[in-house]
Structure 1
Amino acid sequence: MGGKYRITGDAYPRLRRPRHRRRLFLAGTGALVALGLAGWGTLQLIDVFTGGDKSASAADHKRDCPTPKPSAAPSAKGLPKPAAIKVNVYNATTRSGLAKSAAEELKKRGFTIGEVGNASKEYDKKVPAAAVLLGAPTAMNSSFTVLGTQLAGTVQKTDTRKTGEVDLILGAKFKAFNTPQEATAAMAALTKPAPAPAPSSC
C-alpha cells in the first residue's frame, strides 16, 4: 500500500478509544446526581408543608386540640352547715316514737330541729322508701344534699314553700341513720373534684 498510509515496518498507526463509552459514563453520573438533587428537594418541600420541626408541630397540635375540662363538683363552701338547716321530722310509719328518736339523733349531729310528730294524711303510711325529703326548690342542691348524706335511700320532692326549712318524712324502709363516719365520707365524696378525663387525640 502506498501513499500516506504506506507501511514501512518501523511505525504503527495510533488507535483511539471510542468516545461513546465516555459519553455513557458522563450521562449516567449526571443522571444519578440529578436524581439525588430531586430527592433532596422533595424532602425539603415535605418539611415545608408538614412543619419540619417535630417539636413545633406537636406544640401546634396541642394548641389546636381543645383541653377537656373536668366536670364541676359541688363545692363544700357552697353547701350549708347542718346548724343552718332546720329539719321538721315526721313519722309516716306505724312505729311509735320514731320521729322523736330520729330528731334527737339529728340534733346530736348539729342540725336545727323544728316540728316533730306524725306525718300528714298525704304521706301517712304512704312512704315505701326510707324517707322523703320535702322542701323548696332551692333545697335541691343545698339542704337536701347535706341531709341526704345522713340517710341512704331518700326520695327528694319540692313544694311551693318559701322558707328554707326541710321536712324529713320517715318511711317504711327506715332502719337507722348512716354512722357519723359514713356521713362524713359521703360528704367528702360529694365535694371531691371529678378525675380529669383521659386526653383525647384530635
Structure 2
Amino acid sequence: MLTFARVRALAIIAVLVLGALIAVLVALTRDDGLVTADHTSCPDDGVVANLELADPREIRINVYNATDQSGLASQVGEAFANRDFEVVEQGEDPRDTDGAGVAVLRYGPQAVGAAHVLQAYFLNTATFEFDLEREDDVVDVVLGNGYRQLATPTEVRLSIAALGSPVPPPGTCVAT
C-alpha cells in the first residue's frame, strides 16, 4: 500500500527525471556554439579565415628559438614532430624577438584554427601575432625565455576546452 509520503516522493523523482531528460535533449540538439557565417557575410575588404581546429597531422609549423639556449628549436621541433605535427623549419628566430614570454605564435588567416590548437600546447600562455597579409597555412612558433616544456596530451585537451572556439581576427570572416 502506498502512503502519501511515498506517492509524493515518487512524484518528485518523476519530475526530476523528466527535467533531466529535457535538459539532456536540449543540450544535444543545440548548436549555438557553431559558427554559421559564410563567404557572403564577409565585408568587401574582409579576408576569409580558417577557424577549423585541425588534427596535429594537418598542422604545419616553423619552430624558432628566441632565447640564448642553444638547440632549443630543434629539441622542441622534434617534440612537435613526435606529436605528429609537420615541422617545416627550425632554427633561430629570423625576426630577432627579444625572447620574453613563453612563446609567440605568428600566423595568417589560413592558420587561425591551427594557432588556436598550438596555444593549448603552451597551456594558453603563448602570445598571438596575427598577420592579415600572410597567405600560407604555417604557424611560426617562437620560443621565449619563459618556455619550459610542451603540455601533456591531457593538458592539451583541457586547454582546448578552456579556450573554446576560435574567433575570427579583425578584418577576417569565417571560412565555410
TM range (shorter): 0.5 to 0.7
What is the Cα deviation at residue 191 of structure 1?
5.4
Between the aligned partners of 1:185 and 1:121, the Cα distance in structure 2 is 32
Deviation at 1:97? Answer: 0.8
Counterpart mapping for 1:3-42 below 5 A: none
Counterpart-to-counterpart distance in 2, 1:122 and 1:103: 18
Aligned to 1:147: 118
Aligned length: 119
Alignment partner, residue 104 of structure 2: 132
Alignment map for 1:52-201 (pairs within 5 Å): 72=33, 78-123=52-97, 126-140=98-112, 142-152=113-123, 153-159=125-131, 160-190=133-163
Specify the SS of the correspondent of 2:121: coil
* RMSD, matched Cα: 2.4
- Structure with the bigger RCO (C-alpha within 8 Å, sep 6+) is 2
- Structure 2, unaligned stretches of length 5 or more? 1-29, 36-50, 166-176
Distance in 2 between the 1:71 and 1:168 partners?
A: 32
Per-residue deviation, 1:78: 3.4
> Whose strand fraction is larger, Structure 1's or Structure 2's?
2
Distance in structure 2 (CA, Å) of the matches to 1:81 and 1:70: 22
Change (3 A) 1:137 1:78: closer
Q: When the two structures are superposed, what TM-score results if normalisation uses the length of structure 2?
A: 0.60
8 A Cα contact 1:89 1:168, kept in partner? yes
State, as a whole percentage, how many aligned pairs show the same letter.
31
**1:132-155, Cα deviation, whole Å (9 max, x unpaired):** 000103423x01111111113100
- 8 Å CA contact 2:110–2:135 kept in 1: the answer is no
Residues 40-80 of structure 1 deviation map (CA, whole Å, 9 limit, x = unaligned): xxxxxxxxxxxxxxxxxxxxxxxxxxxxx886268xx9311
Deviations along 1:80-134, one digit per CA (max 9) or x if unpaired, are 11111101000000000100110111111111111010012441xx131100000
- Match for 2:103: what amino acid? A
Normalised by the length of structure 1, the TM-score is 0.53
Letter in 2 for 1:110: D
Equivalent residue letter for 2:117: V
Q: Residue type matched to 1:147 in 2? A: L
